[in-house]
Chains A and B, each alone.
Chain A
Amino acid sequence: MKIAIASGKGGTGKTTLSTNLAAYLAEKQEVVLVDLDVEEPNSGLFIKAELLREEEKYKMIPQWNPDTCILCGNCQEVCNFHAVLKLGEQIMVFPELCHSCYACSELCPTNSLPMVPQKMGELKHFNSGTLSFIESRLEIGQEQAVPLIRQTNKYVEECFSEQVIKLFDSPPGTSCPVIEATKDADFIILVTEPTPFGLHDLTLAVETMRELKKNFGVVINRHGIGNDEVEKYCSAENIPLLARIPNDRQIAELYSRGELLYKKIPGVKEQLDLLIHHIEGLESAGER
């Protein structure tokens, strides 16, 4: 079972929900939490676990071999991202612009642009009992999140069996990285706030999920602030409202210290129970 936790924009409580849900589920079963917000991975601040493994992650970029190159200029012509340039007698590669499409390399008549790995980030694998935690972090200056998200998903796929519940803390927004992070999920939890900003961003996220033909539900964070437009929207659109995490200054304070909420605030635990109940329903429906 793969569940992605997403939101139209950052700061809605996506990480709070992911970490609390993961830790709570782990009290009863094996869970892996994956932080796919590779530009700003934050889940690790809330999960206390031991580092098991660290891997450098690479993307493939072409490397010029001046000895065999005949300076035909074909590479510059085929690169749609202007990542290879022919400057006089030299071929220059701009790694940050390269999308690793292999066109220049495979279409070079003399094989003078072999693809070589370049570091784009780091993956860390932590463990604490039944809870595993995977985090990937993009190097500063690396601009493309998607390849790292893809490789992280692959790592999780290879390391954990089907039975383990997998929670993916997705990057915010509705652009490419979110699509990459959510496209393989069985179910998506959209986290929002009951405010005009929250509603607006939620409608964008819902459009995206519908476009992807995904099964999804909504969790309202900071329930009690703002207005009830999000609730009205969900019922009008027939979107299941899975849980309402209350607004509480104590919650904000616990969060600010990097602490988990459900152990200290009974209201949060109740809401997580509701959410888990829904997820279990999906699972047994899937088995049937």
Chain B
Amino acid sequence: MKEIVVISGKGGTGKTSITASLAYLGGKDIVLADCDVDAADMHLLMQPDFGQAKDFYSGLIAEIRQDDCIQCGKCADICRFDAIPVIDGKYIVDPLSCEGCGYCPRVCPTDAIDMLDMNVGKWYVSTIKTGTTMVHAKLGIGADNSGKLVAHVKNEAKRIAEEEDKEIVLVDGSPGVGCPVVSSLSGAKFVVLVTEPTVSGLHDLKRVYELVDKFNIPAGCIINKADLNPQVSAEIESFLKQENIGHIASLPYDENFTAAMTQGKTIVEYDENNLNEILTQSWAKIKQIA
């Protein structure tokens, strides 16, 4: 089983649309994992049935039992996150500020503080329109995307792929260069970098590649909207050469990306011409290299 992860460093490069198209082309040979849990959009294109839904708990949160609290203020004094304000004379934990460090219960003279498991979101195992399985999630509001939910989604996808004897796990990776993308990348066999020829696109590509390079994972790149700025496109291409990253394909700036999305379709379902051809070739190439 191979694990292929698609990442882009920044948003708006068309990563999810491209991943969805690859997933469509992969049909029943793949298991799909949407690890972009902050802004999980894949389900809008893949028609999942949300077959199984489960809560995900990660980390802790403090709660003060008012009946046992003697208002000594010790907890508020030691909390480094200003998470225990006094409201109407009562010490109350602000759930959005509490880091779950567990320090306050250790200083409370009356044992009035409980540490509770925190529900950070939901995760799903669904059957999608291609008949295969997708694992995806929804992060709760203000939850800490520590990468644990991402890791969980990915591991479930891997487990299912093994069980069902699927060749490939295709992962829509998280944005940024922090914890979640680290979780998306670990264990990957091949990384597809999606970028666009803008000054920020190139800048973010370099930054996220630093990370990929640290993991020592072979990578290939798809340049989306390549004709938007031929000069930056050329810069990207020379960066790819220099770092020995395969140039999988260049896609033109095309309003069909949005048009397909508006109909809830992947690009390869919607477009029968140029984009379809390039993406079909890209998928063949990726399967061959990975």
Question: Which residues of A approach B to under 8 Å, CB–CB?
Answer: 8-13, 15, 39-40, 42, 45, 78, 80-81, 99-103, 106-107, 138, 140, 143-145, 171-176, 179, 183, 195-197, 200-201, 204, 207-208, 211-212, 225-227, 249, 252-253, 255-258
Contact = CB atoms under 8 A, between A and B. Distances in A.
A263 B188 CA distance: 45
Contact of A140 (B96, B103, B175, B211): B211
B106 interface: yes
Top 10 closest A-B pairs, CB basis?
A11-B12, A10-B11, A11-B11, A9-B39, A101-B101, A173-B38, A256-B229, A103-B103, A256-B198, A258-B199
Contacts of B176: 39-40, 171
Contacts of A208: 141-142
B100 A80 contact: yes
Contact of A173 (B39, B198, B200, B201): B39
A136 B141 CA distance: 24
A15 B198 CA distance: 13
A172 to B, nearest CB: 6
B217 interface: no
A40 B198 CA distance: 14
Nearest to B211: A140
B145 A45 contact: no
Contacts of B10: 10-11, 40, 42
A103 B145 contact: no
Interface in B185-228: 196-201, 203-204, 207, 210-211, 225, 228
A200 B13 contact: no
Nearest to B38: A173
B145 A175 contact: yes
From DSSP, what is the main secondary structure of chain B's interface residues? loop
Contacts of B241: none
Nearest to A173: B38
26 contacts: A8-B39, A11-B12, A12-B11, A12-B12, A40-B177, A42-B10, A42-B203, A101-B101, A101-B103, A102-B78, A140-B177, A145-B178, A173-B145, A174-B38, A176-B145, A196-B262, A197-B41, A197-B44, A200-B44, A201-B41, A252-B228, A253-B228, A253-B229, A256-B198, A256-B201, A256-B232
- Which has the most chain B C-beta neighbours within 10 Å: A10, A78, A201, A257? A10
B101 A42 contact: no
B60 interface: yes
Contacts of B204: 40, 42
Nearest to A252: B228
A230 B253 CA distance: 23
Nearest to B176: A39
A101 B255 contact: no
Contacts, number: 156
Nearest to B146: A143
A252 B225 contact: yes
B96 to A, nearest CB: 6
A106 B141 CA distance: 32
B143 interface: yes
B144 interface: yes
Contacts of A196: 41, 44, 261-262, 264
A39 B210 CA distance: 13
A103 B200 contact: no
Contacts of B41: 9, 196-197, 200-201
B80 interface: yes
A197 B16 contact: yes
Contact of A10 (B99, B175, B207): B175
B173 interface: no
A182 to B, nearest CB: 10
A11 B207 contact: no
Residue among A15, A107, A143 with most chain B CB within 10 A? A143
A175 B121 CA distance: 11
B274 interface: no
B258 interface: yes
Nearest to B41: A197
B101 A103 contact: yes
Q: Which of B177, B204, B210, B232 has the most CB of A within 10 A?
A: B177
Contacts of B81: 101
Nearest to A139: B177
Contact of A103 (B96, B102, B179, B253): B102
B102 A80 contact: yes
Contacts of A143: 147, 178-179, 182
